[in-house]
A = this chain, B = another copy of it.
């Protein structure tokens, strides 16, 4: 199974073109378009999303991740990270730093040595990463010319990121705080507002805000039958903190 995590957007041909390249090498290989709307130019948020949302997929899943790093993209190089029996393919090891931190003794990182005969300047997802993802999914990794390489950048720390990393279509605002329900604080502060913990949506008065542990283990701010992001003017990157 190949899982796509990108900032390509749903409109336009880009997801289809990348999937086409996958099918051209392995017609009908299972492909899932998990995220097409990871925040652009925000490798930090993307790295926490990739770590949280890859957990539920089975071993041997290949995550094909392409997010525009914005300024300074020249310092990144194509990598494969193998962690916990899964593969992560994409531009630069920083994107997978949370995955690596979560699997400290159980990951390997490789530089991709293979280069396509035709490599566009702007669509490495299609030209470079898609073929590598197929080879990994088919067990033909030798074709990708992988060489073990150490991390070249300082990984993000600590494991919890006290920022908003994604806002979904309901206006629910995910943080990078990944916890067991037992170790959660009772109150979360964001933009001067305090939110209390609820077990789930139906425990909250309709229209009122709260936080809860979402179905992927991330602390998330929500409003029962309402749009938290609009109501409280929340944006990716906003800081959050526990309060007493």
Residues of A within 8 A of B (CB): 1, 3, 8-14, 16-17, 19-21, 23-24, 27-30, 32-37, 41, 53, 56-58, 70-71, 73-74, 120-123, 126-127, 166, 168-170, 199-202, 206, 212, 214-215, 225
How long is the Cα–Cα vector from A41 to B3 in the complex, in angstroms?
Answer: 30
Residue pair A169, B9 in contact (C-beta under 8 Å)? yes
- Contacts A41-B225, A122-B215 given: A30-B32 contact, CB under 8 Å? no
Knowing A215-B120, A215-B126, say if A169 contacts B11 (CB, 8 Å).
yes
Given contacts A1-B23, A23-B32, A122-B215, 5 further A-B contacts (CB under 8 A): A8-B169, A12-B35, A13-B34, A74-B202, A122-B200
Cross-chain contact B34 with A170 (CB below 8 angstroms): no
The SS class assigned to the A binding surface is loop
11 A-B pairs with C-beta separation under 8 A: A1-B20, A1-B23, A10-B169, A19-B32, A21-B56, A23-B32, A71-B225, A73-B202, A121-B200, A122-B212, A122-B215
Most buried by B among A11, A19, A24, A73: A11
CB <8 Å contact, A37 and B57: no
Residues of B within 8 A of A53 (CB): 13, 17
Across the A-B interface, give the 6 residue pairs with the lowest CB-CB distance, nearest first: A16-B34, A9-B169, A123-B215, A120-B215, A121-B200, A12-B168
